[in-house]
Amino acid sequence: MTSAFLLINCEFPFAGEVISELGKVPEIIDIYKLHGMYDIIAKVKSDTEDDLNEIVKVRIRKIDKIKSTLTMIIVEGNKTKDKAK
């Protein structure tokens, strides 16, 4: 399993529309609207790195109003626990 964070810049003020389209991509498991250098961050999961590249190139970058993307493949991670409980 390969996972990545995808940072997305889109045309203003279309982040909401882009988020709706991203929600239709089943491999995207989390989407957040941001303030700052990037407009959106999404977490993507796929079976292989080749599949991930195909998803980003063919399905995500083709979404209308997306200007650019930056893909950061996750090499290692730790699941955080909710310490407020």
CA–CA–CA angle 6, 11, 13 (5° rounding) = 110
Q: What is the DSSP letter of 35?
A: S
Enclosing H/E stretch for 22:
helix 15-22
Q: Which domains does the chain have, with CATH numbers?
A: 2-73 (3.30.70.920)
Q: Show the tokens assigned to 16.
A: 């909401």
Q: Give 4-45 pLDDT, tens digit per residue.
A: 999 999 999 999 999 999 999 999 999 999 999 999 999 999
How many CA atoms does the CB half-sphere of 60 hold within 13 Å? 30
Tally of residues, the chain: 85
> Model pTM?
0.84
